Structure 1
Amino acid sequence: MTDRQTSDITSSARQTEDIRARNLSIRWWTLINGLKSLFLVGLDASMLFASWTIADRLGTPTAGVHITNSMIPILAVGIGTLAASGFYGTDDKLHRFANLFKSLALAQLIEFIAAFFYQPGIWVSRSVFAIALILNFLSISGARFLFDLFIIQIRKRNPIFQQAIVLVGNQMDIEHVRKLLKRSRQFRIDSIIDLSIWDIQRQLDEIIDQIKSRKISEVFICSPQLIDNQIILFWNLKAAGIHLRMVPTEIQLPERSAETKMIEEIPTVRFKSLPIFGFNFWLKRVLDLIAASAILLVISPILLLVAFLIKKTSSGPIFYKQYRVGLKGRRFQVWKFRTMVENATELQKELEQQNEVKGGVLFKIKDDPRITSIGKFLRDYSIDELPQLINVLQGEMSLVGPRPLPIRDYELSIQNIEQFSRDRFLRYEVLPGITGLWQVKGRATIDSDEIFYWDMVYILQWSLTLDLKILLQTIKVVLFKEGSY
């Protein structure tokens, strides 16, 4: 890419464009999204067909009735309900498990009522309906999840599928967003519009013409606070066929926890409960218990082998137990395989000057001399963290969540309340985790601000889908030692 292509858009001259060509990028992405939706329709139809066929075989048979004879209306109702619920749009939040289950349950309710009036009492048994609902949910959610992962990997590895975008904002916010987007590798930054050079109020038409001249279909606003009349910007961009995203550089309440409600003619925004409270908390806890028990059972031979090697290669205990800060600021002992020499805590005081974490809130140094030979291997592949499954069973930790801070790091972080943003205390309102969003975004990150940023993103945007994605990405990060520290 040339310097001219990557430089800021600073020319104020209007460019004459061929109206047939200027929306080429928009048409291209519209075509891709259309093909994606068609593929999802086919994928969902295949899963529905397979699930109902299996349910018909597993459930209580009804004499003279075969589900295949009614498959076309079943598929029509199922796909129609999913389409009406928005599952073939571009909004990622519509792929959540809860919404999917509700849509599939609604489809089967419609089918049940239709069957009752068409052939009362002789269509299919209740067991077939129940099995079909479970299989429909598991197969469609699983297939969609794998498809999304596949699409993300394709976009990361092939720049041609990375959507070209323009960043609008001040330099500091643009750099922050640029760093986040660089990690995702799903968008290609074509150019930037620096609001210290451009006056968005007086030069709005000029800015939109410049964006269109670059054949851009989407704009990321990195400094929303600098735009006085956002609705005018939104209207003009959408009128030009350009999509708009607001990217807050500071963590805010998530969009999905709010809904617009009208009181007479007054628009208001009503906030729902945050996602990790109430029923969701206990659902996450139950799944943690089931998963942790199963994992411990499967990997127990590996744990015994590691314990033997630690005891054989260095003096000291097999396990290292350290007090950490968890839910509601309570202190608990975290379990880890010992990877350091016995007097590692005392030696840390001598190594404080070598701490490489910006701000010094966390303590990390490369090539830590306290690490044993077997300890380095255990750390590279995060095997030393596996005993924390015991903490999960004890209710002190979760499989996924913000990493619990050692007492030293916690106390240092709150010494100066001006430097320790108060919203960071929210990380102590959830169970800490064995792995988390920061671990899969960049294990070698040594900037405490970025670590806390990803913790807050996880807390405010939590879902079972996000937990599953983090667990799968953790396996990949660990196996390939991506960013190991």
Structure 2
Amino acid sequence: MITTSSIPLGNLKSDLRSAKGAIKKRGLAIKILQLIALILLDATSLILAWKLAAFYETSLESHLKAQASFELIILIVQLGIIASKGLYDVRVPSCNYARLITAISLSNFFLLLIAFFYEPNFYVSRSTFIMFWLLSVVFICTTRFIFYVATRNLYKLGVIRYPVFLITDVEEQDNNVKLIEKENCYKLIGVAEASSLDRHNREVILEFLYNQDVLEVFVSWNAIKKRLYLYWYFLSAGITLQILPIEREILPSKSKLSMIGDVPCLTIPAPLIAGGDFWVKRCFDIVCTIILLLLLSPVCLIIALLIKLDSPGPVFFKQNRIGLHCKQFKIWKFRTMNINAEKLLETLEAKNEIKDGILFKLKDDPRITRIGKLLRLYSLDELPQLFNVLLGEMSLVGPRPHTIRDVERFQANHFIRQEVLPGITGLWQVSGRSNIDNFEDGVKLDIIYIENWSLWLDLKILLKTVKVVLQKTGAY
């Protein structure tokens, strides 16, 4: 059981989806240089192969046309198909020549179709295409071989090595270290136990990884299987996360399969601009909030008047809630209860309809006023929280902030909710609202939201919120 005395309130950082100082993907410069070199080698090989094949063309006019109009098409088609086959992954210090030959052959087939259907007056003999295909295969495979031999030698000499870190259980450490070293392109900075990812330890290890300019972090499946939400920390620091070996049935969003040696690995690549999506979300929140406040101001004035006429007390209700990183803030709502509602809470605890007792919900709560029932039915009492959004204490979409009373009953695994900005609405709210009578089920929905967050998901939740509110689903 965790009490408010153990809730950390100092040294607060931003939402885990925002950038922690990184403005670009780690190691991006060296990867871009390698990628440019590889593309230039392929392009040079293709142009040289075409010029040699066209040189032996019997028609001089055809030869000139080929030189003038077909080279750009060749580059676009050939390089595009090679890229689509994943053959520009410069991190891999070898080449799949069978896949490369397949890509070249496929692109030559498309070039033949282009020449036949879209340039009917442009004659290129079959022998020219056959010679171009053979020369392309020879030249590209040769330059690729030279490139990867040179790259591997640079790896061995330590000129090019990607700094990585390993987090794994003690019993898996030796095998995982050997697996990483076998790739011969990584510089292993250090190894930490799985406990370093625990809630009370992870800030230390993440700060260390950031300060050491670690490019990728390898985490064994057993070390991270209960902490999958942590990939947001790595994304926002511009660090690529490699999970190995993987459970194939678990595939978090933004992930892809890759191979480390002969072992399948779940890779969650770092974005080019770390935290960029989150700051777009923040700007979206501010713009939408200002627009909503302007449009709904007449509605808010009417609600304030009705509250005043309905029962004695203030128009607004302010309450301490636990928000980002367990920091307390005052949430604003239109008052829907009698002024002595909080004092009456203790007498109503026995009637709590939430099974595990962490939250308090009562369908026919006697503390709610007549106008309060109407406001809650359509969630109009939440409108003043738009000011909390403007102040940066909340977002339009996120896990709902809970009271101190509720957070005092949290278990350790519940605190992931406090790592992102709380929201006016969220996945929990559009998936049943008050009909969800088990706190653990609600937390699962919050974790699903955190693990799979995207701007598109936020937009879908906002649109679904309107539908749920109008249908009065699970409202009381």
Instruction: Point out which structure has higher relative CO (alpha carbons under 8 A, 6+ apart).
Output: 2
TM-score by length of structure 1 reads 0.46
TM-score by length of structure 2 reads 0.47
Bigger-Rg structure (1/2):
2
